[in-house]
Amino acid sequence: MTNPRKKIILNEILFWKQNKLLPEHYCDFLAALYTEGADIEELEPVQHPKQAVLPSEKRKMILLVVGLCIAIMAVLALYFTMQSLTLIFTVIVGVGACILFIAAWQMARKKHLLAPIFHVLAAILLFSMSIRICTTYFSGNNTVLFCLIAANCVIWLLSGIKMKLLYFTVSGALGLIALVGYYIINLS
């Protein structure tokens, strides 16, 4: 095969076949089409820089494990009372929540099934972090607690509307309704 374009195309087809980007029989058909029935074994497989990247399933599992570890740290942070440890755990949980939000956003763009789990984990981490900050630094101040819970509900509501996520929209709206109801009942 003297045409360099055909060689490039065949190398790409081999790459697709090696990395299972297309079903094997599709790759075989395309290779036979471009080699005009000749033997494709004469080509040496091309090493692409994309092969150094972790497969997407491993990445998703790593993100899930990291998310669960951060969630466990958030629960542990709720039980520690020393302010220095609380601050460290709060920062870790905050960073973890941001990482989970970014991972969930990327997965949601690809319509992946794990995206809702990451959304919910990140929302729970953010909520637990804000409650922990309130109980540590504003102990006994119900106004700050009320404002933080309302802020979380508003974030959930706006996120649900913006990303068209029903579970966030409903939880944010119900949370705000419950807060307003609680405020009205305690006012009278």
The domain spans of the chain are: 4-51, 54-187
pLDDT tens-digit series, residues 164-179: 888 889 999 999 999 9
Asked if 175 and 164 touch (Cβ cutoff 8 Å), the reply is no
pLDDT at 98 over 80: no
| Entry pTM | 0.49
pLDDT at 3 over 80: no
pLDDT for position 1: 47
pLDDT tens-digit series, residues 43-92: 545 455 444 444 566 677 777 777 777 767 666 666 555 555 666 666 67
